[in-house]
Structure 1
Amino acid sequence: MKPDLVIVRGDATPEEVAALVAVLATRHGRQQPSPAPRRRTWRNPVRAMRKPVLPGKSAWRMSALP
């Protein structure tokens, strides 16, 4: 089995190797946060509700629209 980490030069203590492995493990595990899911408004029940009819110009046309 081939080792994942080989120290080529110097004499590292087990604590130094453990610190190096911990730093490399945390750096590799970092991922970009996933984007927030988009809201699907087409199935929102509020869309089917009628908006209030306000008095004004062409208000009679708006009263027939959903």
Structure 2
Amino acid sequence: MFKVLRGNPTPEELAAALAVVQARAAAASSAAEAPEELNEWSDKARNVPRGGLPQPGPKAWRSSAWPR
């Protein structure tokens, strides 16, 4: 239900506003129903090297960029 507080919108403007509100409500309800698919490209674990992160110690900054 809409209530116009100011102005005098045309029927076309009211229809456009209603269409936007309905579209956003439908998108929000469908997003809440469907679980998000797991995307391996966005997985944060991909950024950690297989051997783990370099251990702190003398000259650790040098080996931080070396391939393992």
Say yes or no: TM over 0.5: no
Q: TM-score, normalised by structure 2?
A: 0.43
Of structures 1 and 2, the larger Rg is shown by 1
**Which structure has the highest helix share of the two?**
2
